[in-house]
Chain A
Amino acid sequence: MSDLSSINEQMRSLLARTARGRSEFEDLVVVPVFAVVVALIFGMLVMLATGVDIATIGKSFVALAKGSLGSVNALSETLTAAIPLVLAGLGLGLGFRAGLFNIGAEGQVLLGGTAAVIFGFTFHSLPFAVLMPLSLLAGAIVGGLYAAIAGALKAATGAHEVITTIMLNLISFKLLDYLLRQPYIQKEGRADPISKSVPDAAQLPRLLDWLDPNLRLHAGLFVMLAAVVLVWWILFRSKIGFAFRASGENPHAARYAGMKSGLVIVAAMGTAGALAGLAGASQVLGVLGRASPGFSADIGFDAIAVALLGRSHPLGILFAGILFGGLEAGGRQMQVDAGVSIDLIAIIQALIIVFIAAPLLVRAIFPWGFARKSKGGSEV
């Protein structure tokens, strides 16, 4: 009997090692939560340092909470801002899992969104049930193809994706400026770069306008939730997802295991770009109704932060995106109620990323939040 119990004990410790229960929980949940808390405290110190009095600081944090969660309109704004962040963040997270640091989401958002607009007004006579999904699809395809360029360059020549995606971003900004001035695309009677409007049949319908016409939450919410499930399935249940993760963990081992590394890179970049393109499409079809220069409003860059905060896990990205959406919506209220600059929100977001990137710092500040390491080095 004692043999059996010792074997059981061994099995249990082996299982514990593969499951990595506690340390993974710390990594996925505790570090991000504390990072947010520390960032908010630092944000308060920044306000103090710039001469904002305590009463105003208190007022601004109340406004932050009120503007992100405090009313139907606040929740609607939070989710509306979260939709493109989560979609683009999912793509970036998938890329990170495959070992690809894609900085190009901004450009993919722009071109995907533009494609959705152009498709929408070109085929404006199609019925809603066909036109809206196809416009979204057009955005995803163009975003995916644009990202695949960087993937193909890496696979064929070894060009680093960080460099190529940054350059592709710059190209996309100017390409958009050019496209928006073409007579076919430019809005009639305008000299500035701005596209024609998306027809009603291509628009993502608003979900709450029966309650109040100012509520902007749109059907992109369902696209977002579907994408979370889809990316989870791709990453953790599909064969290609296994190839993504394997080549992300160890590209050499993946190649020896018979995976075509070039194909994996292009596919991962393409999927990431398609999600970013979808983010752009949902933004123009659900919120903006047209394309203009800079309509992406840094979604592609903020989404990098969202993917990092979400630890490249679909569920984590969903929560991180909603948090960032809430900061955006709440930041607006903060400015209205307390007169505190919305730039402060950017500082808080940046601080969150600093603390996410430095988990050891968070551990040092909040030692009681983490399991102590024993002398042997294994988790208690």
Chain B
Amino acid sequence: MTVLSKFATGTGLAAALLAGSVTAASAFTACQVTDTGGIDDAGFNQTAWKGVQDAIEAHGIEGRFLESQAESDYEANLNSLMGGGCDVIVTVGFLMGDATAAAAKANPDQKFSIVDFAYDPAIPNVIGQVFATEQAAFLAGYLAAGMTETGVLGTFGGINIPPVTVFMDGMVHGANYYNEKHGTDVTVLGWNPETKEGLFTGNFDSLDDGRAFAQNLYDEGADIVMPVAGPVGLGSAALADELGTDELKIIGVDADQALTDPEKAHVYLTSVLKRMDSTVQEVIEAAMNDTFEGGVIVGTLENDGVSLAPYHTFEGAVPAELQAELDEIKAGIIDGSIKIGM
């Protein structure tokens, strides 16, 4: 199924290329290098690629992607896009930070953009796309704390890097905030925001790990788990599907995983959205209109760069007063009256 969808993407791409050449005027090409999760990971890389697809649809440009099989591919992949042909190159992922910086410095006339990395000082031909993910994850943690029956939540990450742990930070702080308000004692397993230690699979591609880690957390009593590891979380969703959602629910990350993982849609309580698609499209449009300027774009709750996905099948299960509190907290975060992790 994944292979098929991959080829479907490929053929769709070819169709788009043909369409592009028919409408002629646009010779603009956006290229993207994915991280190791792959273009069809139902989350991180797929969301970023959706930004390119949206731009293809809206402006009739051309789009290409290259998947990284391993961390050692980053530089090689960037290299093979360097022969011209790409008007803007989008790299997806914090781990590609060094490789992107090196390529950008070696090719000062090539426009780059990277998801999840901000350079300090800024590189003139790179736009960093970063996200205040902890804001949306805070809401997810608060929601989960209000929904749990065992009083135990779980989370785990792919690799201990800031763009991953920021989700886990937000979830823990959100649950703690719920405890503060309601005098409850909900605990979050898998992450300690003070010591920065927690559960990590060590990769962004093993669905088996996703299953095993969720099983461990479930065995420790967790009934809602948030995997922050790209496609690894699909393994956790498979476990929740088998156990039943009364036993285990999953919080998706990056994309609305109830939509990107439709077969398991019923296990997702919600998803912490990180709208890389809109920032990627924004960057492409900036490059097209010659307004491209090196620096940083930040996605927040306020500008809808991050948000909480609809509850879908759990729409009726979330109590109205909990939803009211969430709306209030969201407003509080936006106006600054609620500080996360304080």
Q: Name A residues whose Cβ lies closer than 8 Å to a Cβ of B.
A: 50-53, 56, 67, 71, 73, 77, 80-81, 177, 190-193, 213-214, 216, 283, 287-288, 292-295, 297-298, 329, 332-333, 335-336, 338-343
Contact = CB atoms under 8 A, between A and B. Distances in A.
A52 B203 CA distance: 30
Contact of A51 (B11, B67, B82): B11
Judged by DSSP, the binding face of A is loop
Contacts of B82: 214
A56 B77 CA distance: 21
A335 B31 CA distance: 12
Interface in B56-108: 64-67, 69-73, 75-77, 79-83, 95, 106-107
Contacts of B64: 336, 339
A364 B8 CA distance: 36
A52 B11 contact: yes
A332 B77 contact: yes
A191 B11 contact: no
B341 interface: no
A338 B82 CA distance: 17
B67 A294 contact: no
Given A293-B71, A336-B66, 6 more contacts: A293-B203, A294-B203, A295-B72, A336-B80, A336-B81, A341-B7
A73 B83 contact: yes
A56 B10 contact: yes
A67 B66 CA distance: 14
A288 B81 CA distance: 18
B2 to A, nearest CB: 10
Contacts of A298: 70
Interface string B184-201: 000000000000100000
A294 B71 contact: yes
Contacts of A67: 80
A73 B78 CA distance: 13
A335 B66 contact: yes
A190 B161 CA distance: 8
B80 A53 contact: no
B72 A339 contact: no
Contacts, number: 105
Contacts of B202: 177, 293
B148 interface: no
B80 A333 contact: yes
Contact of B69 (A56, A190, A295, A297): A297
A283 B107 CA distance: 23
A203 B199 CA distance: 35
B204 to A, nearest CB: 10
B80 A332 contact: yes
Contacts of B76: 77, 80-81, 216, 329, 332
Contact of B67 (A50, A77, A283, A341): A341
Contact of A287 (B75, B160, B162, B196): B75
B72 A191 contact: no
Nearest to B36: A294
B165 interface: yes
A106 to B, nearest CB: 12
A162 B10 CA distance: 40
Contacts of B83: 71, 73
26 contacts: A50-B4, A50-B7, A52-B11, A53-B11, A71-B83, A73-B80, A191-B165, A191-B196, A192-B159, A214-B82, A216-B75, A216-B76, A216-B79, A292-B95, A293-B71, A293-B159, A295-B70, A297-B69, A297-B73, A332-B76, A332-B80, A333-B80, A336-B81, A338-B14, A339-B11, A341-B7
B73 A192 contact: no
Contacts of B10: 52, 56, 338-341
Nearest to A290: B98
B7 A51 contact: yes
B3 interface: yes
A50 B80 contact: no
B165 to A, nearest CB: 7
A297 B72 CA distance: 7
Most buried by A among B7, B8, B13, B160: B7
Contacts of A73: 79-80, 83
A297 B70 contact: yes
Interface string B27-71: 000010000000000000000000000000000000011110111
A355 B77 CA distance: 30
B30 to A, nearest CB: 13
A214 B3 CA distance: 32
B9 interface: yes
A214 B71 contact: no
Contacts of A340: 7, 10
A342 B69 contact: yes
Contacts of B71: 292-295, 297
A50 B3 contact: yes
A56 B107 CA distance: 31
Nearest to B158: A192
